[in-house]
Chain A
Amino acid sequence: EVQLVESGGGLIQPGGSLRLSCAASGFTFSSYSMNWVRQAPGKGLEWVSYISRSSSTIYYADSVKGRFTISRDNAKNSLYLQMNSLRDEDTAVYYCARDEGAIVPGDLITPWGQGTLVTVSS
């Protein structure tokens, strides 16, 4: 069974840093691109970042560019999101999601993990 399990969320003060992790199992992790997508409380989905299978291609949403860094360790079947200079508006559930598309980011995002909540507040 394909599983994606996020961890690392929590309460952090504005300006702080946090590192999210996503543990993948049930599939050959190195064969798939991955995404982070977030959802603020009571709000819609917002795409955050994409990383290709070999980490050679990385994209970010303008809202996080320069502050967030996506990475992966194929040997550990893990995806990461390093979040720096956190702002109130970064408060959200962060989902790790597999991208089955082979050509462009976001073509075929499935499945999704259950998410980890990040709360930025003083």
Chain B
Amino acid sequence: QSALTQPASVSGSPGQSITISCTGTSSDVGGYNYVSWYQQHPGKAPKLMIYEVTKRPSGVPDRFSGSKSGNTASLTISGLQAEDEADYYCSSYTSSNTVVFGGGTKLTVL
């Protein structure tokens, strides 16, 4: 199972919006609405930010939103804040009853 494809890095200024893409196949992202997004600050454990493509766990700001089109899922962060600077990973359930993660995207807030 190959990792999902994410851009290595994205950047934006405070207050701006950014979007991180996550591309898979019809056997994972495109085939199921079980895409999640995780935020990881350096030296910390990952934190769930989005699940089932568009849903936010309680406590996650509504600045974070998810979407999907075909085999590509996306995470959008609006109103960027300094504390959003972190690594972001997507994941998806697969047809093999496994879970595949993306390679990760480093978000820099300029």
Interaction A to B: yes
Bound-state CA distance A60–B1 (Å) is: 12
Interface residues of A toward B: which range?
20 to 34
Whole-angstrom distance from the CB of A51 to the nearest CB of chain B?
Answer: 12
With a cutoff of 8 Å between Cβ atoms, the chain B residues found around residue A45 in the complex are: 38, 40, 46, 89, 91, 101, 104
> Is the CB–CB distance between A106 and B93 below 8 Å?
yes
Q: Which residues of A contact B (CB under 8 A)?
A: 35, 37, 44-47, 50, 59-62, 95, 101, 104-115
Number of A-B contacts (CB under 8 A): 76
Residue of A47, A108, A110, A115 touching B100 (CB-CB under 8 A): A47
In the complex, the chain B residue whose C-beta lies closest to that of A93 is: B45
> Is the CB–CB distance between A108 and B102 below 8 Å?
no
> Is the CB–CB distance between A107 and B36 below 8 Å?
yes
> Is the CB–CB distance between B102 and A62 below 8 Å?
no
> Is the CB–CB distance between A106 and B48 below 8 Å?
no
> Is the CB–CB distance between B101 and A109 below 8 Å?
no
Supposing A45-B89, A45-B104, A110-B57 touch, asked if A105 and B99 sit within 8 A by C-beta, the answer is yes
> Is the CB–CB distance between B101 and A44 below 8 Å?
yes
With a cutoff of 8 Å between Cβ atoms, the chain B residues found around residue A113 in the complex are: 45
With a cutoff of 8 Å between Cβ atoms, the chain A residues found around residue B91 in the complex are: 45, 47, 106, 109
> Is the CB–CB distance between A108 and B36 below 8 Å?
yes
